[in-house]
Amino acid sequence: MSDIQIVPRRSEERGNADHGWLKTFHTFSFAMYQESKHDRYGCLRVINEDRVAAHTGFGTHSHREFEIFSYVVDGELEHKDSMGNTEILPRGFVQLTSAGTGISHSEKAHGSKPVHFLQIWSLPSVPRLTPKYFTRSFTDEDKTDKWATVVAPVDAEGVKKDLRDGKGEVDGPAPVQSPLTLYASILSEGKRVTKEMKGTKGYFHVIMRSGYNEGKAEGATVKISGGGVGEEVALREGDGAYLQVKPGSEFVVENVGDKKTEVLLFDLA
């Protein structure tokens, strides 16, 4: 029996909406998409894969008691908030806002091109925190055929919790006030990566790099497995998987398709 139980979350089964200016998929219940079987997983509450058209975006709105981070895939994301932060975030950037007692912000596509990013929310371990803002950036080289740790708990080894802006792995992951570690990888054809899982849960996601697709997943293909004699599970762009984990077990991802693929792995307590 495998040390990691894998339950696929197929792309076409996610919530999705095409608002013209916004094309989005919801892994968990969000906005008009409500599904009790997919409301949250551990501290992980939202994974939205968003495409925002040029010159548009999310106007100023408020949040509290969430850890909110954006993983920029393509284009440039313009962020403004009530803490006085204004920043243009290109591909490779991770921006994390610890909303705490409350913040307001806007997120828009910057320039003449759309922006493709993942908006992720987690539940903080401590309530009524002072709002804070962090950025980190990771090149494609940092992630190619290896894991880059892009977000990690505030008290984890290597996390610089008082560093607002960081550039590359030398500055470590963005600090999150949740029992969550996020790894990112870009896998070349035929390559595989492994990761020892520390928590009891995990979530895996294949980023939809080939374009918005409401149907059955297409594009890059990976196989994932979790040690032991459990079967491999094939996933394509937009697909994900819930993981039930025996701590210390090895999670394996292999690119079995004909193009590079970008993937995210959440390790959850």
**Binding-site residue ranges:** 61, 63, 105, 107
Cα–Cα distance, 81 to 95 (Å, whole number): 12
**Residue 179 in 3-state DSSP?**
coil
**Strand 201-206 relative to strand 261-268: parallel, antiparallel, unpaired?**
antiparallel
User: Looking at the DSSP assignment, which residues form a beta bridge with residue 71?
Assistant: 94, 118
Cα–Cα distance, 83 to 94 (Å, whole number): 18
Among residues 6, 10, 68, the alpha carbon closest in space to that of 197 is found at 6
Binding-site residue numbers for Fe cation are 61, 63, 105, 107
Cα–Cα distance, 46 to 28 (Å, whole number): 6
Among residues 47, 71, 52, the alpha carbon closest in space to that of 240 is found at 47
Number of continuous H segments (helices) and E segments (strands) in the chain: 1, 22
Among residues 12, 41, 21, the alpha carbon closest in space to that of 204 is found at 41
User: Looking at the DSSP assignment, which residues form a beta bridge with residue 14?
Assistant: none
